[in-house]
């Protein structure tokens, strides 16, 4: 048995990757006009993540202070911990504390003359 091949009447080739001209999308018109707007998915996930992080960073925690337990936001406790470790001699904490200070100072736009002078005296242990 021989199979008949269908021959198109016009000169446009129809086949794999070449649909009929009648079914092709028209230029300038979207194939899915009611689809997701550009950037909607990314903005949604970013805003949710920002809210989660903000809620966690400002969550109140209890920390043992000099005069008993003190309540403070988590971010304040982290900064306090970095400062204490920096004073104890932890090099990473020292670098992080200096970087944070420079960053805040750069954002603050205050003159150096307005900042208080702090004198630190190191005492050699006996």
Q: How far apart are CA 47 and CA 53, in angstroms?
A: 10
Please list the alpha-helical segments (H only) found in 32-73.
40-57
Q: Is the pLDDT of residue 116 over 80?
A: no
How many Cβ atoms sit within 10 Å of the Cβ of residue 121? 4
Residue 59 · residue 73 · CB < 8 Å:
yes
Mean predicted confidence (pLDDT) in 71-95: 94
Domain boundaries, the chain: 51-106
3-class DSSP assignment, residue 118: coil
Which tens digits make up the pLDDT trace of 16-75? 888 888 888 888 887 788 887 776 765 556 678 888 999 999 999 999 988 899 999 999
- In which band, very low, low, confident or very high, does the pLDDT at 123 lie, cut at 50, 70 and 90? low
């Amino acid at each position: 048995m021989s199979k008949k091949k269908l021959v198109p009447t016009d000169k446009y080739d129809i086949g794999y990757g070449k649909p009929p001209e009648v079914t092709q999308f028209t230029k300038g018109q979207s194939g899915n006009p009611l689809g997701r707007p550009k950037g909607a998915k990314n903005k949604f996930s970013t805003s949710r993540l920002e809210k989660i992080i903000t809620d966690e960073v400002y969550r109140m925690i209890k920390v043992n202070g000099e005069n008993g337990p003190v309540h403070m936001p988590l971010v304040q406790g982290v900064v306090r911990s970095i400062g204490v470790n920096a004073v104890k001699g932890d090099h990473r904490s020292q670098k992080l504390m200096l970087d944070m200070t420079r960053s805040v100072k750069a954002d603050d736009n205050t003159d150096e003359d307005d900042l208080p002078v702090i004198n630190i005296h190191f005492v050699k242990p006996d």
